[in-house]
Amino acid sequence: MKVKFIISALFLWAVVLMSQAATQHHLVLSTENTSIGITANEGGRSYIQYYGAKIDQGDIRKIFALGSNFTSLSYPTFGIHLGGGAVEALSLQMPDGNMSTDLFLQSVEKKNDAGGECLVLTMIDSVYPVTVKQYFKAYNSSDVISTWTEISNKGKKSILMNKFASAAIPLQRGDNYVCHYHGKWASENYMFETPMPNGQLVLDEKEGLRTAWYNNPSFMITADGKPQEECGEVFGATLLWGGNYKIQMVAENNKFTVVAGINNDNSAYTLEAGETFTTPEFAMTYSTQGKGGVSRAFHRWGRKYALQHGGQVRDILLNSWEGVYFQVNQEKMDQMMQSIASLGGELFVMDDGWFGEKYPRNDGTSSLGDWGVNKGKLPLGVKGLTDAAKKHGIKFGIWIEPEMANTKSELYEKHPDWILQCKNRELTKGRGRTQVVLDLCNPKVQDFVFSITDNLLTENPEIAYIKWDCNAAMMDYGSTYLSADRQSEVDIRYHMGLRNVLKRIREKYPDVVIQCCSSGGGRISYGFLPWFDEFWTSDNTDAYQRLYMQWSASQFYPAIAMASHVSASPNHQTSRVTPIKFRFDVAMTGRLGMEMQPKDMTTEEIEFSKRAIASYKSIREVVQLGDLYRLVSPYDHKSISALMYANDDKSHLAVFAYSLEYTHNQQVPYVRLTGVDENKNYRIKDLTPWNVQKPCFLDNKVVSGRALKYAGLKLKDILNRPFSSVALELVAE
C-alpha cells in the first residue's frame, strides 16, 4: 500500500514537472466554414478556447490577445478543480472509493479517419490507471465537427462510472435563445424557442426506447437574440445515441457550457479492468446564416454520413396501415399494389397484421415475436406478395416490430426470461395490455432479433423495404441476463445490443431500405439513423399538423429521410377535412408516400394523384438531395407557411406555400425566395394545378432571381381559403 502511494506520488510529481516544461499547442481544427480552437498543454490541461465561424491558426493568438478565449476544460471531471456551479462531463469512483478524477494531457495527435480529420487528445489521471482519449473530428465536405471520448480502465480492479458525457462545449453567453423540439404521440417534435435562463436548462429522455419522443436530442442555441432563419449566429448540435440521454445547458456567471451524453441518471456503469467505454458522438455545427445554415449543414452531413443511402432518391410508396389497419389479406394487398402501381408509385409496404399462426395478429393484443406468416390471411405467404408486386411492376416492403413480444405469443410462452423485467415484480404491459420488451442486453435475444430480419430477407430476397417499428417504452428496467450489480446498465446495454443487431443487418443487407418507426416519430434521431434510411414522422398524418411537425423535424433531419404520406380526408387522427391537393403539396416536401385505401378515392382524386406523383418525380431530386430554405414559418402565425428547396447550383428549385386559415382581409406576407441564384432567370411551372386547364397565374412566367428574392411572390390570391396551397417548379433558363 505504502509502495503504491510512493509510486503514485512520484508519478504526480513527474506530471507536475512535465507541466512546467510543457509543450503548449494552440490547435485549430476547421471545416469549410467553422473552427474549434483547443489549447493542449502536454503534461498540463487541455482547454477549448473557441468554437464558431472559421478562423485560422494565426487568429487563435489574436483571440487570446483580446481575452475572448474560453479557457474551458475540454473534459471537466468531478471531484477537484471544478468551481461552484460548473458541471462535470466525467465522474468516476475509483476502486478505493476515491470520487475524484484528475486528467492531465499526455499527448496530442492529428490523424485522418474515414470521412474526416481527427484531433486526438490523450489524457491520463495523475494517480489512478485511467486513460481518456478525446476525439474531435471535422467531417470532410461538411460543416460538422463531432466529439466523443474513450474511457479506459488500465488497472486491475473495476471502476464505477457515475457520469460519462460525450462533450462539454463552451459557448458565448449573450442573449441566447434555445430552440428545441418536444412532443409525444401524434404531436411529435413541436418547435419551442425560449430565452436561455441563468442556471440550467436540461433536455433529456428517460423513456428508454422511443428516445426522441418527448425531447429530440437535437437543439440549437443562438449567440445573441431571437432565432432567425437566414441571419444571426447559431450553434446546432445533436447526440448520436439511441438510449436515454441528457443535455445540460449551464449558464452561470457569464459562462455558458453544454454538457451532453448518455443519461447517467440511475445508469451507473462498471468499467471492468482492461475495458474501454466509447461515448457516443456529439455532432455540432456553427452557422453565421441563422437556423437555415444549421439545418443545411446537418442535412448535407446527414445524407453523407449519418443515414443510409443518403445520395439515392427514394421510391414513392403506399403503406397499408391507414387503408386497412390489421385487416390484411392477399386480396386486399394485391388490390392496393395494383392501385399504387397505376398511380405511378413504385413500392408497396404491408404494415402490421400479417403474422402469427397460433395467435393471429388481428389487433394490438397478441403475436409480436411470432414472425411466421398467418396462412389464413396470406395463403401464398410472403412469396405470394412479392410475386404480386412483381406482376404490378413495383417493389415490396414489410412491417416488423422485432424488439417486442406480446404475453399472448408463442415466443413469450417459450422464453419468458427473454423479457425485460424487474425481479419479484409483475410485468408492466404496454399496448394491448400485453406488449412487453425483449431483453436486448442478452446476446441470445440479439441473435433472435437479428434472425427475424435475416430469415425474412434470406427467404424473400425480393423484399426491398422494411418498416422497423418500436411501440413501447422501457417499462421494466431489469434484465435476467445481467448480474445483480449490473442492473443499472440495462438501458445502455440494451442499446449496445440493438446497435449490434442493426450493424449485423447492415453488413449482410446493405441495400435494403429500412424505415425507423417508433409509435410514429419516437425515434427521429441521429442515434438511430446511421442504420436506417428514413423515419416515420408521426402517426398523425393530418397535413395541417404535419406542416408544424415537418417544419421542426426539418431543423436537423433532411427531407430524404422524412416519410410524409397523403392520407384520407377526414383525417383518421384529427377528423380534419382538407383537399387532396393540400395533402399532396404538404407530403411532397418530404419523402412522398400514400397511406390510405386508394380505391376509396373519387375519379377526380385519382386523376389528380397520378399527376401529382408524376410532378413529384420531376422535383424529387431537388427535394430529397437539395438545400432547404424555410421562408414563412407556420409558428409565426402569419396565416401562411412557405418553404423551398434548391439543387447545388440553384438551377432547379421547388417552392411550396400553404394557407393555414381563411386569409381574406388578412395581411399575407410576401414570400421572398431566399434560396434562388440572383443572377439566374427562372421559368415557373405550377406543379399541381387541380384543373390542368387553369394553372395558377405564375405558371410559365420567366422571372429573374433578383425579383424572386427581393420582391418575392405575392400569393394572397392563391392562398385565399383555408388549406389552399401551391407547389411550383422553377427551372433556370
Name the one range near ligand GLA by CB under 6 A: 85-93, 243-251, 458-466, 517-525.
517-525
Tell me the C-alpha to C-alpha distance, in Å, between residue 194 and each of 199, 220, 254, 632: 14, 11, 18, 19
CA proximity to 238, closest of 210, 216, 256: 216
Contact between 143 and ligand GLA per CB under 6 A: no
Contact between 539 and ligand GLA per CB under 6 A: yes
- The x, y and z cell numbers of residue 583, run together, are 395533402
Contact between 360 and ligand GLA per CB under 6 A: no
For ligand GLA, which residue of 536, 544, 557, 582 counts as binding (CB under 6 A)? 536
DSSP label of 281: P
Listed in sequence order, the DSSP H helices in 631-720 are 705-706
> Which residue's C-beta sits nearest to ligand GLA?
352
Give SS3 for 661. coil
520 vs 689 by CB, closer to ligand GLA? 520
Contact between 573 and ligand GLA per CB under 6 A: no
| Least distance from ligand GLA to the Cβ atom of residue 409, Å | 15
| Least distance from ligand GLA to the Cβ atom of residue 538, Å | 8
x/- letters, 609..648, toward ligand GLA (CB under 6 A):
----------------------------------------
Contact between 471 and ligand GLA per CB under 6 A: yes
Active site residue 539: yes
| Least distance from ligand GLA to the Cβ atom of residue 325, Å | 8
Active site residue 485: no
Contact between 663 and ligand GLA per CB under 6 A: no
Instruction: Report the alpha-carbon distance of residue 325 to residue 311 in Å, rounded.
Output: 32
x/- letters, 425..444, toward ligand GLA (CB under 6 A):
--------------------
| Least distance from ligand GLA to the Cβ atom of residue 439, Å | 21
144 vs 317 by CB, closer to ligand GLA? 317
Enumerate residues 397-416 that contact ligand GLA by CB under 6 A: 399
304 vs 431 by CB, closer to ligand GLA? 431
205 vs 351 by CB, closer to ligand GLA? 351
For ligand GLA, which residue of 261, 356, 397, 520 counts as binding (CB under 6 A)? 520
207 vs 469 by CB, closer to ligand GLA? 469
Contact between 188 and ligand GLA per CB under 6 A: no
| Least distance from ligand GLA to the Cβ atom of residue 349, Å | 9
Maximum alpha-carbon separation in the chain: 93
Among all chains, which residue has been given the C-alpha cell 475509483?
94
Sign of CA dihedral 558, 561, 562, 568: positive
Q: Which of 143, 351, 370, 469 is catalytic?
A: 469
Question: What DSSP letter does each residue of 344-393 carry, written as one string?
Answer: T--EEEE-SSSB-SSS--SSTTS-TT--SB-TTT-TTHHHHHHHHHHHHT
| Least distance from ligand GLA to the Cβ atom of residue 571, Å | 14
* Residue 189, phi-psi category: left (phi > 0), alpha (psi -120 to 50), beta (remainder): left
597 vs 647 by CB, closer to ligand GLA? 597
Contact between 119 and ligand GLA per CB under 6 A: no
Instruction: Report the alpha-carbon distance of residue 436 to residue 366 in Å, rounded.
Output: 11
Name the one range near ligand GLA by CB under 6 A: 82-90, 495-503, 513-521, 610-618.
513-521
Contact between 321 and ligand GLA per CB under 6 A: yes
Sign of CA dihedral 211, 212, 218, 222: negative
Instruction: Report the alpha-carbon distance of residue 271 to residue 496 in Å, rounded.
Output: 15
Instruction: Report the alpha-carbon distance of residue 354 to residue 500 in Å, rounded.
Output: 27
How many chain residues interact with ligand GLA (CB under 6 A)?
11
Per-residue burial over 568-588, b if 16 or more Cβ lie within 10 Å, else e, is bbebbbeeeebbbbbbbbbbb
Contact between 469 and ligand GLA per CB under 6 A: yes
| Least distance from ligand GLA to the Cβ atom of residue 469, Å | 5
Which residues does 370 contact at the CB level (< 8 Å), separation at least 6? 355, 356, 357, 358, 359, 409, 410, 411
Instruction: Report the alpha-carbon distance of residue 55 to residue 49 in Å, rounded.
Output: 12
Q: Which of 125, 143, 533, 539 is catalytic?
A: 539
223 vs 378 by CB, closer to ligand GLA? 378
For ligand GLA, which residue of 517, 592, 623, 657 counts as binding (CB under 6 A)? 517
Beta strands in 227-376 (DSSP E): 234-239, 245-252, 255-262, 269-271, 276-278, 282-287, 317-319, 347-350
CA proximity to 580, closest of 600, 609, 557: 609
| Least distance from ligand GLA to the Cβ atom of residue 399, Å | 6
For ligand GLA, which residue of 172, 519, 537, 552 counts as binding (CB under 6 A)? 519
| Least distance from ligand GLA to the Cβ atom of residue 434, Å | 13
DSSP label of 235: E
Q: What is the dihedral of CA 59, 60, 62, 66, to 10 degrees?
A: 130
351 vs 686 by CB, closer to ligand GLA? 351
x/- letters, 381..400, toward ligand GLA (CB under 6 A):
------------------x-
489 vs 539 by CB, closer to ligand GLA? 539
Tell me the C-alpha to C-alpha distance, in Å, between residue 452 and each of 330, 443, 448, 449: 21, 14, 7, 5
Contact between 352 and ligand GLA per CB under 6 A: yes
Question: What DSSP letter does each residue of 575-617 carry, written as one string?
Answer: -----HHHHHHHHTTSEEEEES-GGGS-HHHHHHHHHHHHHHH
CA proximity to 33, closest of 238, 257, 289: 289
| Least distance from ligand GLA to the Cβ atom of residue 102, Å | 48
Tell me the C-alpha to C-alpha distance, in Å, between residue 220 and each of 189, 190, 229, 290, 551: 14, 14, 12, 10, 14
348 vs 536 by CB, closer to ligand GLA? 536
DSSP label of 254: T
Instruction: Report the alpha-carbon distance of residue 360 to residue 605 in Å, rounded.
Output: 35
Instruction: Name beta bridge partners: 727.
Output: 656
50 vs 213 by CB, closer to ligand GLA? 213
| Least distance from ligand GLA to the Cβ atom of residue 326, Å | 8
Sign of CA dihedral 430, 434, 439, 440: negative
Interaction site with ligand GLA (CB under 6 A): 321, 351-352, 399, 469, 471, 517, 519-520, 536, 539
Q: Which residues are catalytic?
A: 469, 539
